[in-house]
Amino acid sequence: MTEHRWTELAAPYALGSLDPGERAEFERHLETCASCRVEVQSFREVSGLLARGVAHATPPAELRARVVRYARRARPAILPWAVAAAVVLAILGGFGYWRAANEARVLRTRFDVAQSQLDSTKYVVAALLDSSVAITDLAATGKAPSMRLYWNRARNIVVVAAFDLPPAPAGRTYQLWAIEKGRAPVSVGTFNSAPSGRPVITLQMPAGVQPEVSAVTEEPAGGSPQPTQQPFLVGSWRSRS
Amino acid sequence: MAAGDERALGELYDRHGSTVYALARAIVGERADTEEVVADAFGQAWRTAGQFDPARGSVTAWLATITRTRALDLVRARGRRSKVLARAAQESDAGFATPLASSDAPDRDVERQETRQLVTRSLGELPEAQRRVIELAYFGGLSHSEIAAELKEPLGTVKTRLRAAMEKLRDALSPRIRQVEP
């Protein structure tokens, strides 16, 4: 039997119109064919919607109590709460669409996260691959941690790549400074490290600032207007262009 | 049955009771039998709720399948023909609402009312012969060969008509049908 022939049986099967032999045969096929199962369900949905097109009839008011009473008797065991929850959710969410909608939301969120990670990666790469980029290495006398800064002068973006930098203590943050000779340090921004110790962060160099030196201090969360500690990472700028 | 479960069942009935009732009524006809089918259908739905997976189909489709099965079982057990089948034999009006008649049941739920109108319109757009086959299958519970005998048409013709009608309906109703997991 061809696949096409099987597909043709989905609609009459969903309506219950297959003759017994064909029905049994098709049910065996359904056990192994996911696409036919989807096809059958789509026609069951049609069948379900057709019920909405039936000539209207108003149920008597007392039927509701009878249904609940009858179901109470008919139920052999206490309904597991999870099942009750599933039914309630299906009802409240409307026609059982809640789960699909929920999954769509989850996928959408995952997609957005992946997209933003990709965007951020592209942004970093674009900032690095530019002839205007200046680079400096910040080090604490040759020991870990260390840091490399890439300053895209055309776009005033600073990409911070840190190595072996532990996360700042609770309530503290790291702050990067741009220092011009004879002037007070200017904050480039605050950042923290990931548990991996290898964060890559992009910050914006304040407009008009042309630092000779950059340094990193540990500051209270939110950063400080001026450094409150001795920097633990210091480096001077050199241009590669 | 816990109190919370009863509330869930009550909500299930409040949302779908009138659709289930109308469907049962269209198949069995008698009011007392209709009520029995409705109680029976909700009872079965309640017992088998654990097997219902919302990812694989809507509550509406699930309940309609149960209701049709129970209603058709009762009609057969009574040794009767369904109301629609009896009417179809007389070539009078059948189970689906006519576009005119559907307006007699205003629904407060806009989404449901729109669905109802879409279903009625989609059925109305089917060629008469296809609509007839669908009604015999849907309300009469007739198999391909029983429909062929009823209409005195070749079996192949009946199969083709039924399938074509269901495919047209699926296309027309697709805005109300979501994709399901296999």
Please give the residue range of the domain that contains residue B76.
Answer: 1-80
Average pLDDT score over chain B: 82
The β-bridge relationship of strands A200-204 and A233-236 is unpaired
- Which pLDDT score is estimated for A161? 85
Which domain CATH number covers B7? 1.10.1740.10
- Which pLDDT score is estimated for A221? 87
Q: For residues A192 and A167, give the distance between their C-alpha atoms in angstroms, rounded to a whole number.
A: 6
Please indicate, yes or no, whether residues B65 and B113 belong to a single structural domain of this protein. no
Say yes or no to pLDDT of A36 above 80.
yes
pLDDT 10s digits, B16-75:
999 999 999 988 888 899 999 999 999 888 878 777 777 778 888 999 999 999 999 998
Structure tokens at A133: 């980029």
Please indicate, yes or no, whether residues B66 and B111 belong to a single structural domain of this protein. no
How many other C-beta atoms can be found within 10 angstroms of the C-beta atom of residue A118?
Answer: 10
Q: For residues A67 and B36, give the distance between their C-alpha atoms in angstroms, rounded to a whole number.
A: 9
Would you say the C-alpha torsion B127, B133, B136, B137 has a positive or negative sign? negative
Rg, Å, chain A Cα set: 33
Count up the domains in chain B and report the number. Answer: 2
Q: Is residue B91 situated within a structural domain?
A: no
- Which pLDDT score is estimated for A149? 87
Say yes or no to pLDDT of A99 above 60.
no
Please indicate, yes or no, whether residues B74 and B3 belong to a single structural domain of this protein. yes
- Which pLDDT score is estimated for A24? 93
- Position A152, amino acid: N
pLDDT band at A200 (very low <50, low <70, confident <90, very high): confident
Say yes or no to pLDDT of B161 above 80.
yes
Last residue of a domain, which of B50, B80, B110? B80
Q: For residues B71 and B62, give the distance between their C-alpha atoms in angstroms, rounded to a whole number.
A: 14
Please indicate, yes or no, whether residues B52 and B113 belong to a single structural domain of this protein. no
| Cβ separation A90–B54 shorter than 8 A | yes
Out of A60-69, A128-137, A158-167, A187-196, give the one with best mean pLDDT: A60-69
Say yes or no to pLDDT of A98 above 50.
no
| Cβ separation A54–B23 shorter than 8 A | yes
Tell me if B17 sits within 8 A of B141, measured CB to CB.
no
Please indicate, yes or no, whether residues B70 and B140 belong to a single structural domain of this protein. no
Q: For residues A223 and B163, give the distance between their C-alpha atoms in angstroms, rounded to a whole number.
A: 70
Nearest to A83 among B19, B49, B176 (CB): B49
The residues facing B92 across adjacent strands are none
Q: For residues B121 and B157, give the distance between their C-alpha atoms in angstroms, rounded to a whole number.
A: 24
Q: For residues A205 and B90, give the distance between their C-alpha atoms in angstroms, rounded to a whole number.
A: 86
- Which pLDDT score is estimated for B2? 42
| Cβ separation A79–B14 shorter than 8 A | no
Please indicate, yes or no, whether residues B74 and B5 belong to a single structural domain of this protein. yes
Please indicate, yes or no, whether residues B71 and B112 belong to a single structural domain of this protein. no
Nearest to A91 among B12, B22, B65 (CB): B12
Three-state SS string over A189-232 comes to EEECCCCCCCCEEEEECCCCCCCCEEEEEEEECCCCCCCCCCCC
pLDDT band at B95 (very low <50, low <70, confident <90, very high): low
- Which pLDDT score is estimated for A104? 61
Please indicate, yes or no, whether residues B121 and B167 belong to a single structural domain of this protein. yes
Structure tokens at A61: 């008011």
Q: What residue of A is the nearest CA neighbor of B167?
A: A11
Question: What would the mean pLDDT of A148-165 be, rounded to a whole number?
Answer: 85
Please indicate, yes or no, whether residues B7 and B68 belong to a single structural domain of this protein. yes
Tell me if B142 sits within 8 A of A17, measured CB to CB.
yes
Last residue of a domain, which of B45, B80, B115? B80
Report the candidate in B95, B32, B99 with the shortest Cα–Cα distance to residue B68: B95
- Which pLDDT score is estimated for B151? 92
Question: What would the mean pLDDT of A133-157 be, rounded to a whole number?
Answer: 79
Tell me if B157 sits within 8 A of A12, measured CB to CB.
no
Nearest to B47 among A46, A74, A86 (CB): A74
Q: For residues B125 and B130, give the distance between their C-alpha atoms in angstroms, rounded to a whole number.
A: 10
Last residue of a domain, which of B29, B49, B80? B80
Burial zone of B69 (CB within 10 Å; 0-12 exposed, 13-18 middle, 19+ buried): middle
Three-state SS string over B54-78 comes to HHHCCHHHHHHHHHHHHHHHHHHHC
Question: Helix (H) and strand (E) counts for chain B?
Answer: 8, 0
pLDDT 10s digits, A18-29:
999 999 999 999
- B12-16, B50-54, B99-103: least confident range: B99-103
Out of A5-9, B48-52, B62-66, B87-91, give the one with best mean pLDDT: B62-66
How many other C-beta atoms can be found within 10 angstroms of the C-beta atom of residue A201?
Answer: 19
Which domain CATH number covers B126? 1.10.10.10
| Cβ separation A67–B21 shorter than 8 A | no
Percentage of chain A exceeding pLDDT 90: 26
Please indicate, yes or no, whether residues B172 and B107 belong to a single structural domain of this protein. yes
Q: Which 85-124 residues of chain B touch chain A by CB within 8 A?
A: 95-97, 101-102, 104-105, 111-112, 115-116, 119-120, 122-123
Say yes or no to pLDDT of B146 above 90.
yes
Q: Is residue B13 situated within a structural domain?
A: yes
Q: Is residue B43 situated within a structural domain?
A: yes
Residues of A in contact with B19 (CB under 8 A): 51-52, 54
Q: Is residue B85 situated within a structural domain?
A: no
Q: Is residue B92 situated within a structural domain?
A: no
The residue among B28 and A194 whose pLDDT is bigger is B28
Please indicate, yes or no, whether residues B122 and B56 belong to a single structural domain of this protein. no
Q: Is residue B88 situated within a structural domain?
A: no
Q: Is residue B69 situated within a structural domain?
A: yes
Q: Which 34-93 residues of chain B touch chain A by CB within 8 A?
A: 34-35, 38-40, 42-44, 46-47, 49-50, 52, 54-65, 67-69, 72
Q: For residues A146 and A143, give the distance between their C-alpha atoms in angstroms, rounded to a whole number.
A: 7
pLDDT band at B180 (very low <50, low <70, confident <90, very high): low
- Between the alpha carbon of residue A46 and those of residues A49, B53, B58, B72, B157, the distances in Å are 5, 17, 11, 18, 21
Out of A32-36, A155-159, B42-46, B131-135, give the one with best mean pLDDT: B131-135
The ipTM estimated for the assembled molecules is 0.89
pLDDT 10s digits, B164-179:
999 999 999 988 887 6
Nearest to B1 among A41, A72, A93 (CB): A72
Average pLDDT score over chain A: 79
- Which pLDDT score is estimated for B83? 60
Q: Is residue B128 situated within a structural domain?
A: yes
Residues of A in contact with B17 (CB under 8 A): 59, 63-64, 67
- Position A85, amino acid: A
How many other C-beta atoms can be found within 10 angstroms of the C-beta atom of residue A233?
Answer: 20
Question: What would the mean pLDDT of B114-141 be, rounded to a whole number?
Answer: 91
Q: What residue of B is the nearest CA neighbor of A21?
A: B143
Please indicate, yes or no, whether residues B60 and B117 belong to a single structural domain of this protein. no
The residue among A229 and A112 whose pLDDT is bigger is A229
Say yes or no to pLDDT of A95 above 70.
no
The residues facing A137 across adjacent strands are A148
- Which pLDDT score is estimated for A156? 84
The residues facing B39 across adjacent strands are none
Residues of A in contact with B180 (CB under 8 A): 38, 41-42, 45
